Amino acid sequence: MSGTSMNDTKPGDVLDALEEIHLPVEPGRVFQTLTRIGGRTGWYAFDWLWRLRGAVDRMLGGPGMRRGRRHPEALALGDAIDFWRVVALEPERRLVLEADTKLPGRATLEWTVAREPGGTRLRQLSRFEPDGLLGRAYWYGVLPLHKVVFGGMLRGIAQTATDDGAPSRDARNPSP
């Protein structure tokens, strides 16, 4: 992984965290792994935390994890994936999910897949558009946890894409 960057310049700006990794496989294989995310496949790391987040969301009146997926591998614009919704989809290039959870702002997860010498560059961007001070407090409050969870998710996606099969138990559910 080449690291994380955060953008935090002015109130109301978009806050983001970027991670990327090189994988020694074809872009199509990486994208196929991405299109299986959520539902029965899980989130490639810390599934128990994703379920906990879903339970909290459901208690707050959101959809929680009850929606699952329409199909275990195929995605289309507008599809629900647990408590996310597909808002952008460019086959073998880009996938963007927007959170349908109760949040003090708007959250998205974006993956871009690009061919590069020796394989594929996978970029994972978590982005948050806070609603006021509460939104900013939320972002900075959960940022340390997001770094762990989203970093584990990126590693789990990478392992699954390069291993030719289902994620290993260790990659999908590492210890906190």
Q: What is the pLDDT of residue 67?
A: 75
User: What pLDDT does residue 99 have?
Assistant: 94
pLDDT of residue 170: 39
Q: Would residue 103 count as lying in a domain?
A: yes
Question: pTM for this structure?
Answer: 0.84
Q: What are phi and psi of 46, to 5 degrees?
A: 50, 45
Burial group, residue 176, by CB count within 10 angstroms (0-12, 13-18, 19+): exposed
Query: Checking DSSP bridges between strand 105-116 and strand 119-130, what pairing results, if any?
Result: antiparallel
Query: Per the structure, how many domains does the chain have?
Result: 1
For residue 138, what is the domain's CATH number?
3.30.530.20
Residues in the chain where the model's pLDDT stays below 50: 1-9, 166-176
Q: Can you give the pLDDT at residue 9? A: 37
pLDDT attached to residue 160: 96
What pLDDT score was predicted for residue 63? Answer: 81
For residue 89, what are the domain limits? Answer: 5-162
Residue 106 tokens read as 């708007």
CA distance 171 to 140: 26
The verdict on residue 168 lying in a domain is: no
Measured CA to CA, the distance from residue 54 to residue 24 in angstroms comes to 33
Does 90 map to a domain? yes
Residue 122 lies in a domain: yes
127 within some domain = yes
% the chain with pLDDT above 90: 69
Asked if residue 78 belongs to a domain, the reply is yes
The structure tokens listed for 79 are 């599809």
Residue 35 inside a domain? The answer is yes
Q: Does some domain include residue 169?
A: no
Confidence at residue 172, expressed as pLDDT on a 0 to 100 scale: 42
